[in-house]
């Protein structure tokens, strides 16, 4: 029976690949959450701008305008911060994808090696079997020859 001597290495490579897939999935989920938060911030900023517009039409005090301007500035800072965070996370996602791709290549290489070793083992077994059959046929022929002559 064929046993692949590097089976522990193959199992390790599969495990590494699974772990990288989980890490990538987690990063993608977090990135999507940040994008949702960013979208909410944009919507809130748009609402604040609309409120300022409508209040200016109605007539608003300076203190209220300052309050709204501060809110708008804080929202813009939050948006900038989220955009930087998302860019950083997207960079991490790209790195993790490359790591995963490398892990997949390594696993496939080991699987191909296992397949080739298994194929070579089967070929060797078939050759040995054929050799034994040939020897058995030769022995039967040699044993059968004197009996026919006698």
CB 100 within 8 Å of CB 21: yes
Instruction: Tell me the per-residue pLDDT of 120-148, one tens digit each, with 9 for 90 and over.
Output: 999 999 999 999 998 888 888 887 655 44
12-21: average pLDDT: 97
Q: What is the pTM of this model?
A: 0.74
Instruction: Tell me the per-residue pLDDT of 68-107, one tens digit each, with 9 for 90 and over.
Output: 889 999 999 999 999 999 999 999 999 999 999 999 999 9
Residue 49 to residue 64: CA distance in whole angstroms: 13
Amino acid 150: pLDDT: 45
CB 13 within 8 Å of CB 107: yes
């Amino acid at each position: 029976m064929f046993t692949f001597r590097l089976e522990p290495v193959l199992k390790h490579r599969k495990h590494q690949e699974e772990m990288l897939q989980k890490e990538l999935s987690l990063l993608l989920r977090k990135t999507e959450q940040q994008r949702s938060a960013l979208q909410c911030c944009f919507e809130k900023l748009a609402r604040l701008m609309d409120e300022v517009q409508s209040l200016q039409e109605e007539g608003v005090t300076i203190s209220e305008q300052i309050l709204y301007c501060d809110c708008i500035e804080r929202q813009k800072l939050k948006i900038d911060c989220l955009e930087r965070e998302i860019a950083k996370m997207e960079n991490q996602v790209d790195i993790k994808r490359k790591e995963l791709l490398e892990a997949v290549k390594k696993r496939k290489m080991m699987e191909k090696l296992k397949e080739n070793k298994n194929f070579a083992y089967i070929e060797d077994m078939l050759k040995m079997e054929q050799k034994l059959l040939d020897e058995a046929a030769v022995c039967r022929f040699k044993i059968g020859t004197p009996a026919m002559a006698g």
